[in-house]
Amino acid sequence: MSSPDDDKQEQREAFRAPDPAGGPLTTDQGVIVDHTDDSLSAGERGPTLMEDFHFREKLTRFDHERIPERVVHARGAGAYGYFEPYASCAEFTRAAFLQDPSVRTPVFVRFSTVQGPKGSADTVRDVRGFATKFYTSEGNYDLVGNNFPVFFIQDGIKFPDFVHAVKPEPHNDIPTGASAHDSLWDFVSLQPETLHAIMWLMSDRAIPRSYRMMQGFGVHTFRFVNAEGKGTFVKFHWKPKLGVHSLVWDEAQECQGRDPDFNRRDLWDAIEAGEYPEWELGVQLVPEEDELSFDFDLLDATKIIPEEQVPVRPIGRMVLNRNPENFFAETEQVAFHTANVVPGIDFTNDPLLQARNFSYLDTQLIRLGGPNFAQLPVNRPVAPVRTNQRDGYHQSTVHRGTNYFPNSLGGGCPAHAGGDPEAYRHYAERVDGHKIRRRSESFKDHHSQAALFWNSMADWEKQHIVEAFRFELGKVDARTVRARTVEELAKVDGGLAAAVARGVGVPEPSGHGAVHKLASPALSLDAESLRGDGSIRTRQIAVLVSDGVDAEQVTAVREALAAEGAIVEALADTDGTVTGADGEKYAVDRALPTVASVLYDAVLIPGGPVDTAPVAADPDVMRFVRDAYRHGKPVGALGSGVRVVAALEPEGLAVSTEFHRAVSDRGVVTDTSPGAASAEFIQAFVDAVGQHRHWNRPPVRG
Ligand code: HDD
């Protein structure tokens, strides 16, 4: 029996363009072209001729290469992979792809930022999209989620308002990819339902280290339906195997210049290197009878169900193992739609979800230029498609036979499934009520879960949140907007509001205490469950080398770190080689001026018998180490390399130069012994890298 995964592979082969090496260049009509560098002209210096069909076709095709970018989530990166369930979920859902652990369902995932255009930088402060298309045997299922579990508004009719507010200001199209401007904060300060998601936006969750290291959430409460027609409310969670890790704001901003493609490159490189990212799919299940037993409304997408209240139950895993072959054909043309569901998965009356069920199809029609986008290879289901839908722009299927139902001329086909248990049947929810344009009372508490998020943060996370608010509001020109936002924050937490007020020069609110007591420790990046397996696989480690370096030591350390799965690069003033202490040439991977500390997860300064004073004096090296330290990254130093780190002590960097012993202090791992690195040093450095960042350091100057 072939699995949907095999079917998708086969389909892909069928849609691949002919091998460019298989013959000469042709026109779109298949006519062989002998020359494509000069247009057809009347004489050597004469005008171009209209009859040059190759010229006209080439230019026309070029002029029409762009399609409208997505109105939101324009900037993205995607990859293929597969999903497999751990066990049958038949008790809750009849969805075929959640039944059999031996069946792999192919997927395509697109990660994205929201605000910025297609060419904007990756490491902006923003929500990240996490959209998954499952090509199941029963049709395509799209789980179109984000890396935050809550959204900014409760009803989709507000979406254009919210998006207009966060997008660049209409008069000057500023800022690109950023929320730090007047209109967003004006909206936020007047629309307190945004506050919970805003807390997430101000936290480090909004600047992920890697798409491979972020959680995903379906956000809405959906409904599972089993074969007996019994419904169960469900919230979806993706948890990355590598743990959840973030950048710091200063670093994220510098990354925007040093490598605007930081996140998409990271995803691409990891998959190319065979380091396939993996997520566990978990579900929070709520029996229908418990619908009204929470102190918030399950239909309100600005609320989470704390994990402590309803645990997340792991049900399967997803692995991304193949990069697209063509960005436009696949990542750009992929069309997600929340209403793409399969039997066993259904909607709830969440008004945000209901609006999305309209908006996604509508947006694809304009973006992909017509109704036939499901025929594009990346969107094409592996399940057979038989419809009476016909014609339209870009129709690429040659239909035969009748195109209406009922018919007798076509033998009554395609026939209704009738009582076929495989057919999709909407959950028979009982609904009755008056037509009203009014928000339910149960949606009216906007502050207690914003406070829950704040209360759940570690001290260092709270500090980052305060700094983020100060940065964002500090960029807002209208003082009234700053003040009104602080007033709203005072309803979340008095201490937070006061700290923000002090930073942005508006009056501190009177109350300074906690307003709400709720907390969910599982939300902190310090939570054990978000730390991953502690492995250092795919962490980028810079080794700063120079002439006189102990090359033997470097080679051994590199091998030890590579054995743990880290990616180690030797950096020096210039590319090429340095001359080791033994007189041998040692290869350099990159020249320091082409990179920066922000592109690495950790730095190591090896030793050498020569005096390292000249290295310490190198401003590039000092900046590299200082930045790594400031950003909480592990810093390792061996032998005389310790002196480089110690040179930064006057600026506030804490370093132990204890003699001839591996010492690990707040992620600074040193050993002044000359020669080979000890096993203790390697272990301490690996542990420090495995922790990702070290927040308990004194601040450095400079
Ligand atoms: Fe949306 C794209 C996620 C609310 C309307 N959305 C889009 C994408 C993601 C999300 C990940 C990009 C998909 C891709 O990679 O192609 N959106 C969300 C989440 C929401 C949400 C998690 C709240 C829980 N969205 C939302 C609302 C509306 C939209 C309330 C409109 C009523 N979203 C769209 C859209 C987009 C879109 C305009 C733009 C491009 C596209 O759909 O294909 O239709």
CATH number at residue 510: 1.20.1370.20
**CA-CA distance, 393 to 420, in Å (whole number)?**
33
Structurally, the chain folds into a number of domains equal to 3
**In this structure, which residue's CA is closest to atom 4 in ligand 1?**
356
pLDDT band at 656 (very low <50, low <70, confident <90, very high): confident
Ligand 1 centroid, distance to 169 Cα (angstroms) = 20
Does residue 414 have a cis peptide bond before it, meaning omega lies within 30 degrees of 0? Answer: yes
Ligand 1 atom 12: residue of nearest CA: 73
Q: Are residues 79 and 185 in the same domain?
A: yes
Q: Rounded to the nearest whole angstrom, what is the distance from the C-alpha of residue 144 to the centroid of ligand 1?
A: 7
Backbone dihedral angles phi then psi of residue 318, each to the nearest 5 degrees: -125, 135
3-class SS at 60? helix
Specify whether 351 is located in the same domain as 477: no
What value does the mean pLDDT take over residues 419-442?
94
Instruction: Among 524, 546, 563, give the residue marking a domain's end.
Output: 524
Same structural domain for residues 519 and 538?
Answer: no
> Would you say the CB of residue 357 lies under 6 angstroms from ligand 1?
no
Q: Can you give the pLDDT at residue 299? A: 98
pLDDT of residue 659: 67
- What are the angstrom distances between the C-alpha of 378 and each of 60, 79, 104, 531, 599? 25, 11, 17, 33, 32
Cα-to-centroid distance, 219 and ligand 1 (Å): 12
Decide: 149 and 236 in contact? Cβ < 8 Å.
no
Mutate to test the pocket of ligand 1, among 115, 359, 379 (most ligand atoms within 8 A of CB): 359
CATH of the domain at 167: 2.40.180.10
Task: Tell me whether residue 65 is in a domain.
Answer: yes
Is the per-residue pLDDT at 257 higher than 60? yes
Domain boundary among 490, 524, 558: 524
Looking at 501, 524, 547, the residue that finishes a domain is 524
Buried b (16+ CB within 10 A) or exposed e, 35-56: eeeeeeeeeeeeeeeeeeebbe
Ligand 1 in reach of 147 Cβ (< 6 A): no
**C-alpha 580 – ligand 1 centre gap (Å):** 54
Is the domain of 493 the same as that of 551?
Answer: no
C-alpha 430 – ligand 1 centre gap (Å): 28
Confidence of residue 614 (pLDDT cuts 50, 70, 90): very low
Domain membership flag for residue 544? yes
What is the residue type of 202? M
Residues 520 and 539 in one domain: no
pLDDT of amino acid 512: 61
Together in a domain, 516 and 538: no
C-alpha to C-alpha distance for 149 and 131, rounded to whole angstroms: 13
Q: Taking 50 as the threshold, does the pLDDT of residue 610 lie above it?
A: no
333: helix, strand or coil = coil
Distances (CA, A) of 344 to 235, 236, 320, 429: 14, 14, 25, 14
- Look at residue 612 and tell me whether its pLDDT is greater than 60: no
Pocket lining: 355 vs ligand 1, CB cutoff 6 Å: yes
Start-to-end CA distance of the chain, whole Å, equals 64
Extended beta strands in 580-634, E state: 585-588, 590-591, 602-605
Q: Whose CA is nearest to atom 31 of ligand 1?
A: 356
- CA–chain centroid gap for 171, Å, is 30
Task: Evaluate if residue 343 carries a pLDDT over 60.
Answer: yes
Asked whether residue 476 falls in the same domain as residue 562, the answer is no
**Shared-domain flag, residues 366 and 308:** yes
Active site residues: 73, 146
Position in ligand 1 atom list of the atom nearest CA 74:
40
Give the mean pLDDT of 244-273.
98
Task: Please classify residue 432 by burial: count the beta carbons closer than 10 Å to its beta carbon, then call 0-12 exposed, 13-18 middle and 19+ buried.
Answer: exposed
Q: Are residues 456 and 501 in the same domain?
A: yes
d(CA 404, CA 396): 19
Question: Which band of pLDDT confidence, cut at 50, 70 and 90, is reported for residue 619?
Answer: confident
The per-residue pLDDT for 701 is 65
Exposure b/e, 156-192, CB count within 10 A at least 16 = b: bebbeebbebbbbeeeeeebebbbbbebbbbbbbebb
Distance of CA 147 to the CA centre of its chain: 7
Print the domain residue range for 479: 450-524
199: pLDDT strictly greater than 50: yes
Asked whether residue 469 falls in the same domain as residue 571, the answer is no
Q: What is the DSSP string of 260-275?
A: TTHHHHHHHHHHHTT-
Q: Which atom of ligand 1 sits closest to the CA of residue 70? A: 40
DSSP 658-690: -TTS-EEETTEEEE---SSPPHHHHHHHHHHHH
Beta carbon of 112 within 6 Å of any ligand 1 atom: yes
Indicate the pLDDT class of residue 1, thresholds 50, 70 and 90. low
Q: How far is the CA of 277 from the centre of ligand 1 (A)?
A: 23
CA of 517 from ligand 1 middle (Å) equals: 33
Which pLDDT value is given to residue 616?
60
Q: How far apart are CA 538 and CA 615, in angstroms?
A: 28
Averaged over 242-260, what is the pLDDT?
A: 97
Stretch 255-259: mean pLDDT, rounded? 97
Question: What is the tally of helices (H) and strands (E) in the chain?
Answer: 18, 19
pLDDT tier, 676 (very low <50, low <70, confident <90, very high otherwise): confident
pLDDT at 514: 72
Cβ(145) – ligand 1 distance below 6 Å: yes
Closest atom of ligand 1 to CA, residue 358 = 32
Higher pLDDT, 9 or 107: 107
Residue 230 maps to a domain: yes
**Looking up tokens 């879960």, which residue turns up?**
449
CA nearest neighbour of 296 among 177, 169, 117, 449: 449
What's the CATH code of the domain at 658? 3.40.50.880
Output the average pLDDT for the chain: 95
Residue type, 247: L
Across residues 187-203, what is the average pLDDT? 98
Instruction: Give 451-475 pLDDT, tens digit per residue.
Output: 999 999 999 999 999 999 999 999 9
Is 365 in the same domain as 507? no
Ligand 1 touching residue 150 (CB < 6 A): no
Given this model, what pLDDT does residue 702 score? 59
- Residue 479 above 70 pLDDT? yes
pLDDT tops 50 at residue 515 = yes
Do 76 and 181 reside in the same domain of the chain?
A: yes
Residue 255 belongs to some domain of the structure: yes
On whether residue 125 sits in a domain, the answer given is: yes
Domain annotation covers residue 33: no
Residue 304 in this model has a pLDDT that exceeds 90: yes
Tell whether ligand 1 has an atom less than 6 A from the beta carbon of residue 73.
Answer: yes
Q: Which helix (H) or strand (E) segment is 253 a member of?
A: helix 249-258
> Does residue 91 lie in a domain region?
yes
The response to whether residue 356 sits with its C-beta less than 6 Å from ligand 1 reads: yes
Q: Which long-range contacts (CB under 8 A, 24 or more apart) does 179-182 make?
A: 179/115, 179/125, 179/126, 179/472, 180/125, 180/471, 180/472, 180/474, 180/475, 180/476, 181/475, 181/476, 182/476, 182/477, 182/478, 182/481
* Residue 293 is assigned to a structural domain of this protein: yes
Given a cut of 80, whether residue 700 has pLDDT beyond it is: no
Give the model confidence (pLDDT) of 43-94 as tens digits.
Answer: 999 999 999 999 999 999 999 999 999 999 999 999 999 999 999 999 999 9
Q: Quote the tokens at residue 387.
A: 């419809």
